[in-house]
Structure 1
Amino acid sequence: MQNLYIGVMSGTSMDGIDIALVDIKAGKVTSIISDCYPMPNSIKQQLLTLCDTNQTTLQDLGQLDHQLGLLFANSINQFLQNNHINKNQIKAIGCHGQTIYHQPTGNNPFTMQIGDANIIAAKTGIITIADFRRKDMAYGGQGAPLVPAFHKAVLQDPHINRVILNIGGISNISVLIPNQTVIGYDTGPGNVLLDGWINENLNQSYDKDAMWAKTGHIQQNLLNKLLDEAYFKLPAPKSTGRELFNLPWLHKKLTGMNLKAQDVQATLVALTAVSIKHEIEKLPISNNLPCELLVCGGGAKNPLIMQRLSTLLPNWAVLTTNDKGINGDDMEAIAFAWLAYCRINHIPSNIPEVTGASQAVCLGVLYQ
């Protein structure tokens, strides 16, 4: 008998709504089918404006929360219809929601994801699990990253030093070193600045195959200024997002510099790769086992990022998670299906050493 779960993810890049159907038996995860549904430009622009300016009204925020809930629900129903799946076969939906602000430190740490899960549950008729991050934060954690627990469950190998690198809007790593505690955290920007810069200059949503970045040259002075950011010096656990790495931040770094736009793009690719390299080099590897960097997320399709990582990390085999049987485009959606499975079965699904929480807890709120 199948134990089917659906995972739904729309990440920092906001480039689409990823939906994955998975079968989970005794913790073993089998991906069955997946698809990606477009994020309507009107909603995406509202989200980008909100994230970049942090300005809104209660009415606009409430309406956007409702719109996203409907969008997620309609996308799920379309997914079920297209693939001839009976909703009664699905045990639960795990929906991350859209992060609009993440403040894991300070006197009043909080995180906010929108996309009303009540609407998802009502419109699909399927139990929906959402609000995965705040329970971890209630126990003193950062609420992020959550995917390392999933990576540990499906990709740990006792004979290989593995780092799973997800390059979405923000880049994060899960460190799976044999006989060591799993750690994971956000290394810094992934595609968020690359997408924002090309959109501002060429009105394109992303730099396909890094074609524009390839026409530019890395500007070392700018790269040094970008890397001179306090976040890069923080120890783990740590997490970040658009609250820090955004176009206003980039423009501030560009003050007084007269550079070609394509050179800025090339330098932003270097920023992503070099900031990842710096974190990889800090890892406590003291054995003679082979080292693999498994890349997933949109950045795995950027040949320039992949080339830079291979050059910067000569002692690591730089591969994609596709090479290990997990589609990198679906990784986070599959992970949230797994997190829903954990919630339904009362299995703790955070890793305190990753998030900084005081204990392992069961994550997610159930809506039905």
Structure 2
Amino acid sequence: MPELYIGLMSGTSLDGVDGVLADFAGSLQVRAHASAPFDPALKAELLALNRSGPDEIHRSQLAANALMRVYAQVVRELLARTGVPAADVRAIGAHGQTVRHRPQAFDGTGYTVQLAQPALLAELTGITVVADFRSRDVAAGGQGAPLAPFFHRALFAREGEAVGVLNIGGISNLTVLRPDGTQLGFDCGPGNALMDAWCQRHLGQPYDAEGAWAAGAPFDPALLQALLSEPFFAAPPPKSTGRDLFDEGWLQQHLSPFPALTAQQVQATLAELTATACAGEVQRHAPGLPRLYACGGGALNEHLMRRLQALLPATRVLSSAEAGLPPLQVEAAAFAWLARKAVRQEALELQSTTGALGARVLGGIWPA
């Protein structure tokens, strides 16, 4: 008998919403994948809400309503493609849109904010919604991120073998699955966010397709070292980050001593930054790793994948598709899996990944 859940993810890349309809009866089967882009006005507002501004409470609530309508659009598409009635879906795992992520900051606990209106999504779809996955982890002393490593173990682990999973969205994060059954997971730093922003500014394109623009110029070693001087890169896990740190203001601050660089050289250097930061974490925490599965939008950047492979000659850098799940489906499937865990009230052992005090059930539930 099918056990159906929907997972919805909109990440720091701000390129839209990815959704999957997943069946957990037996081994995971993705029945359908659908996506919807953000319209320019919503994307601009979500990006603006990453920074302090006027009337934030009012604006954030309206943006959350608009976001849920995009989520509901993706749900309707998934159901239409499969012919599955809404009543047959046990729950939707809805990540929401991260606009602030400051765990352990200010008062020792900090906070993380994912814009969402789960009650509205339940009304629009007629399906139970699980959301707010990260705040319990932060309340328990954790980083609130990354959460996908728990799903990565369920999907990618190989008995007796170390395996890495590198998700490159707006921010990149690494999961190391050890042969003894333990795992390590943490954010590496920028993924696509800075590359996309720079490409949008100078080419008017949402992203550098296949990394072709970056591949056409040499990176600048001095700028790369200046960027890598950011203390986050040297910090030990558990650690997480977001646009609170790695935004265009951060980039401009580091660019000011390099006025002679062309826009294309900067793009090449930003690609090298992502590759170097990710490869460095693999070398520090999983030397000799035999295989690394890449997922997220960055896995479609051919130049970035070539640079990762060059920096990790002892490791096979593979697309997650080779393990059965295409790169753009992995995070959405992770939140379907996390929703199932919440519905079943199954706690996750968080300590080794987020640094939380112990096992917790993540996510609040809004019944249909």
Category of TM-score, reference length = shorter chain: over 0.9
Classify 1:56/1:164 alpha carbon distance in 2 versus 1 (closer, same or farther; 3 Å): farther
Are 1:226 and 1:271, in contact at CA under 8 Å, matched by a contact in 2?
yes
Are 1:169 and 1:192, in contact at CA under 8 Å, matched by a contact in 2?
yes
Aligned residues between the structures: 363
- Between 1:276-285 and 1:217-226, the stretch displaced more is 276-285
Question: When the two structures are superposed, what TM-score results if normalisation uses the length of structure 1?
Answer: 0.96
**1:81 aligned partner:** 80
Are 1:9 and 1:333, in contact at CA under 8 Å, matched by a contact in 2?
yes
**2:146 aligned partner:** 145
d(CA) in 2 for partners of 1:345, 1:204: 43
Secondary structure class of the residue paired with 2:31 = strand
d(CA) in 1 for partners of 2:344, 2:308: 39
Classify 1:278/1:23 alpha carbon distance in 2 versus 1 (closer, same or farther; 3 Å): same
d(CA) in 1 for partners of 2:286, 2:299: 25
Alignment of 1:137-216 (within 5 A): 137-179=138-180, 181-216=182-217
d(CA) in 1 for partners of 2:286, 2:207: 35
Alpha-carbon deviation of 1:141? 0.7
d(CA) in 2 for partners of 1:160, 1:82: 37
Does 2:73 align with 1:71? no
Residue from 278, 283, 289 that aligns with 1:281: 283
Deviation per residue, 1:146-177 (Å, 9 max, x gap) = 00000111211123221100001000011011
Deviation per residue, 1:50-103 (Å, 9 max, x gap) = 22x332412212211221122212331233234322101100000000000000
**2:13 aligned partner:** 13
Alpha-carbon deviation of 1:348? 1.1
RMSD: 1.4
Alignment of 1:305-320 (within 5 A): 305-320=304-319
Q: Flag structure 2 segments of 5+ consecutive residues without an equivalent.
A: none
Alpha-carbon deviation of 1:255? 0.8
Alpha-carbon deviation of 1:236? 0.2
**1:340 aligned partner:** 339
**1:228 aligned partner:** 229
d(CA) in 1 for partners of 2:238, 2:309: 26
d(CA) in 2 for partners of 1:201, 1:350: 44
Question: Which amino acid in structure 2 is aligned with residue 251 of structure 1?
Answer: Q
Question: Which amino acid in structure 1 is aligned with residue 354 of structure 2?
Answer: T
Are 2:19 and 2:329, in contact at CA under 8 Å, matched by a contact in 1?
yes
d(CA) in 2 for partners of 1:274, 1:161: 21
Alpha-carbon deviation of 1:209? 1.2
Alpha-carbon deviation of 1:318? 0.8
Does 2:95 align with 1:93? no
**2:348 aligned partner:** 349
d(CA) in 2 for partners of 1:332, 1:360: 21
Alpha-carbon deviation of 1:311? 0.7
Deviation per residue, 1:318-362 (Å, 9 max, x gap) = 111101111111000000000011111111135221000111111
d(CA) in 1 for partners of 2:181, 2:366: 36
**1:260 aligned partner:** 262
Secondary structure class of the residue paired with 1:21 = strand
d(CA) in 2 for partners of 1:228, 1:103: 21
**1:50 aligned partner:** 49
Secondary structure class of the residue paired with 2:100 = strand
Q: Flag structure 1 segments of 5+ consecutive residues without an equivalent.
A: none
d(CA) in 1 for partners of 2:251, 2:177: 32
d(CA) in 2 for partners of 1:261, 1:112: 33
Question: Which amino acid in structure 1 is aligned with residue 32 of structure 2?
Answer: I
Classify 1:284/1:19 alpha carbon distance in 2 versus 1 (closer, same or farther; 3 Å): closer
**1:321 aligned partner:** 320
Question: Which amino acid in structure 2 is aligned with residue 228 of structure 1?
Answer: S
**2:32 aligned partner:** 33
Are 1:93 and 1:127, in contact at CA under 8 Å, matched by a contact in 2?
yes
Deviation per residue, 1:5-40 (Å, 9 max, x gap) = 0000011111121010111136x3222111111111
